[in-house]
Structure 1
Amino acid sequence: MPASNRPPTPCLAHLLRHGLTLALVAGGLLASAGELQIDRVFGPEIKTGPYKHPARVEELANGDLYLVYYGGEGEYATDTGVFGSRLTPGSKAWTPPQRIAHDPFRSVGNGVVWQAPDGKVWLFYVVRYGKTWSTSRVQAKVSQDGAHTWSDAFPLVSEEGMMVCNKPILLRDGDYLLPLYFEGGNDPEATGADSCGLFLRRSAKTGEWKQTGRIRSATGNIQPVAVETGPGHLIAYCRRGGNYLPTTTGWLVRAESHDGGLTWGPGENSGFKNPNASVDFIRLKNGHLLLVFNDSMNDRTPLTVAISSDGDKSYPSRRNVAEGPHDYGYPMALQTRDGRIHLIFTSHGRTIVNHAVLDEAWVEHGGPVRSWIR
């Protein structure tokens, strides 16, 4: 089962029954309830190249946290690879990153890791066939042993311009829904207006992946992420399209589906600012919704968490996780079996991978902050 739906391990269930406070090891420090902790995972000292972007993480069935990112000399370098690292329960350090996907002739990027209900660990990533991301296609690998070894790569989407960025969700009917997006245009500093979010839906009965309808919006959108709020009802937030020039109209794009993600209504501007940057959106165990985003139209700072307890109608609880002069990009949120909320994001010109741990109490009421970022 995916991390969000698995029952607690016997040891964890025993602790919870007896009301004990859990201490989570994250980068060697203990995170307490009502506290934010941010640890530096990897930086320029790691010999995978200075560039480290976007990072994604999954809690595996054995309790390991498994992190992936793509690295190399730069975003458009030809030597990029997808690297994986693991943090075992009780450990104080992530394992040295190991290359788990590459192409000897092309650039790769945007690794996404996810463990399916049957125990298989999926790695999705993109391979760029030309000079810009609009030439990309999606490939995948599968691990049968908890991300220790991987299958050969196989094509998942052969249509040019298709990319992945965010992890799948498990729908109530057992199907998987993998966020995709089509990136149009040939400008590395802008996306075309035809850029759009969509999904791949994998049938629980046949194992076949099929594309859903697309989310269309006025200036385009990319990198969707969705939550199922009721049977067949999904809400998606998408990064806005366009360029990086200063704007007063930079909003996160929101869309809805009423048929399990097969078709989508139009993408419309939400009330959340967006500086043309990725976001994440998850459903917590108690049914609340969590959105992590850059609360700015022009800068990837601050990095903000917002929580809704009324099904996306309002987000009264908001708090900045990181702020100041640095850039905080491509956040990913994960709630582990112990209820803690983990955020993975990159910073300092996409050279450092960060791991934050918090809970709802900290978002709602504030509390101590322990962070390496100054």
Structure 2
Amino acid sequence: MSTFFRFFPAFSLILACAFGVRAEPRYTSALIEPINSFHNHGSCIVELPNGDLLASWYKGHGEKGDDSVKIVGARLRKGEEKWSEVFDMADFEGFPDCNSALVVDKEKKLWMFWPLLVANRWETAILMARISTDYNTPGAPNWTWQTPILLKPGDVFAEDVAAAVEEFKKTLPKELVEAYGDELAKLKEEAADKYTRRMGWMPRSKATVLDSGRILMPLYSDGFSFGLVAISDDHGKTWTASRPIISLGGVQPSIVPRSDGSLVAYLRDNGPPPKRVIYSESTDGGMSWSMGKDSELLDSGAGVEGLRLANGHILVIHNDAEKGRHTMAIHLSDDDGKTWKWMRHAERWEPDKGAAAYPSFTLASDGSIIACYTYTNKTDNPGETIKYIRFNEEWIMEGDK
């Protein structure tokens, strides 16, 4: 790791406070492992209390249809520049293990959430969780506890879905209502069924831990094409399902606290055009959510993640095109996401040359911003890996060069 990221943030913060001096833009990057022929996807990254970085992702020759898919990880030790060799994080042999989400809670327990696919369809996912308190040594964490998390969305879930369907019928253009009529009817039917509303909830973005200690694990369903949140107020002993985060195709929510105590969820747009990052708001700690709306940010139907900085600014990283994953941008807001004053690209390829997707954010204790994502080269060295980048707010404000 560069000297800057060990010493510069604290020093620059002192200067900025004393003299109003803005820090210099800083950026570094690395491939966590060499580009290879495997499908490397759905990554997440977290800083551990000792300063190490831990990344996880799923690796195999496919996704839901590949029973060999497993979750792997790698570690960047504090003060070092090279990532460790890749190690296994979870592997239910004979079943696909897919998108993983990492978080360290208020008790300094490391959690990993992921979906175990029972029958090679997203709708058959069971939400799994592992805990470690022994994660500071080289290699994989020592997992001390594991359990499925079984959620029970109740009758209010069915009522919310039915109300949303009727709202869609009133407000959507007639041609959309006609085109999606069968799907809207199916939504109501499946929301009323205990089995279908309890199965298939999967993580994508990292969990959020509120100041109160409440853990919010955002989830989504490919069957319903919307999200909800698994909520724990007792450090993960028990879990409750929030009310659904409903929109027309908004999935894979990423939750960000705002300065007024409310929450905003940014979602991938799997719905009809125009393709935009969808957002939904909560004023009760994540228990209920507003109907999702389109933001001004483009989205190609790919993963989105948000992050709140120590100064209250909000970042969103996403594929900033209506089609394709060849371009990935980081937007920065200083007014809780009302406007996005600054933007810089993390990646830009010609559409047939490469891709970047499924980003994950974390904020380091030294003030730097860390992201990782799927990195695909389609040209001179074809293959895929997970890329890691580390930068500061000033790098975004500098804009594309």
Band of TM-score, shorter chain: 0.7 to 0.9
Corresponding letter in the other structure for 1:154: T
What is the Cα deviation at residue 231 of structure 1? 5.3
Q: Which runs of 5+ in 1 are unaligned?
A: 1-10, 22-31, 185-193, 369-374
- Distance across 2 between alignment mates of 1:287 and 1:42: 33
Alignment correspondent of 1:226? 255
Task: State whether structure 2 residue 379 is matched by structure 1 residue 354.
Answer: no
Question: 1:50 pairs with 30, 34, 38, which one?
Answer: 38
Structure 1 range deviating more: 35-44 or 103-112:
35-44
The match for 2:357 is 329
TM-aligned CA deviation for residue 358 of structure 1: 1.2
- Give the TM-score taking structure 1 as reference length: 0.82
Pairing 1:209–2:278 present: no
Tell me the distance in 1 between the aligned counterparts of 2:130 and 2:101. 10
Question: Going by fraction, where is helix more abundant, 1 or 2?
Answer: 2
The one-letter amino acid of 1:179's match is P
1:38 corresponds to which of 19, 26, 29: 29
**Structure 2: distance between partners of 1:90 and 1:367:** 28
**Distance between the aligned counterparts of 2:96 and 2:236, measured in 1?**
32
Question: What's the counterpart of residue 237 of structure 1?
Answer: 266
Structure number with the higher strand fraction is 1
- Name the CA distance, whole Å, in 2 between partners of 1:201 and 1:344: 25
| Pair 250,331 (structure 1): closer, same or farther in 2 beyond 3 Å | same
SS in structure 2 at match of 1:130: coil
In structure 2, relative to structure 1, the CA distance for the partners of 1:18 and 1:169 (3 Å cut) is: closer
* 1:15, distance to aligned residue in structure 2 (A): 5.8
Could you tell me how far 1:135 is from its partner in structure 2?
1.4
Which secondary structure state, in structure 2, belongs to the residue aligned with residue 343 of structure 1? Answer: strand
Find the residue that maps to 1:134 and give its secondary structure.
helix
- Does 1:292 pair with 2:320? no
Distance in 2 of aligned mates of 1:343 and 1:152: 28
SS at match of 2:98: strand
Residue correspondences, number: 331
Per the alignment, residue 252 of structure 1 pairs with 277
**1:165 corresponding residue in structure 2:** 204
For residues 50-73 of structure 1, the C-alpha deviation after alignment (integer angstroms, 9 at most, x for no partner) is 111111111000000011111012
> Aligned partners of 2:286 and 2:118: how far apart in 1?
29
Deviations 1:139-158 (A, max 9, x none): 01111112531135310136
| Larger CA Rg, structure 1 vs 2 | 2
Amino acid at match of 1:78: D
Gaps of 5+ in 2: 1-5, 17-22, 152-197, 378-382
Range that drifts further, 255-264 or 129-138: 129-138
Q: 1:135 aligns with which of 116, 121, 124?
A: 124
- Alpha carbons of structure 1 residues 230 and 364: separation in structure 2 relative to 1, 3 Å: closer
8 Å contact from structure 1 (residues 306, 315) kept in 2: yes
Aligned partners of 2:239 and 2:61: how far apart in 1?
Answer: 34
Partner of 1:315: 340
* Shift, 1:217, TM fit: 1.1
Match of 1:151 in 2: 144
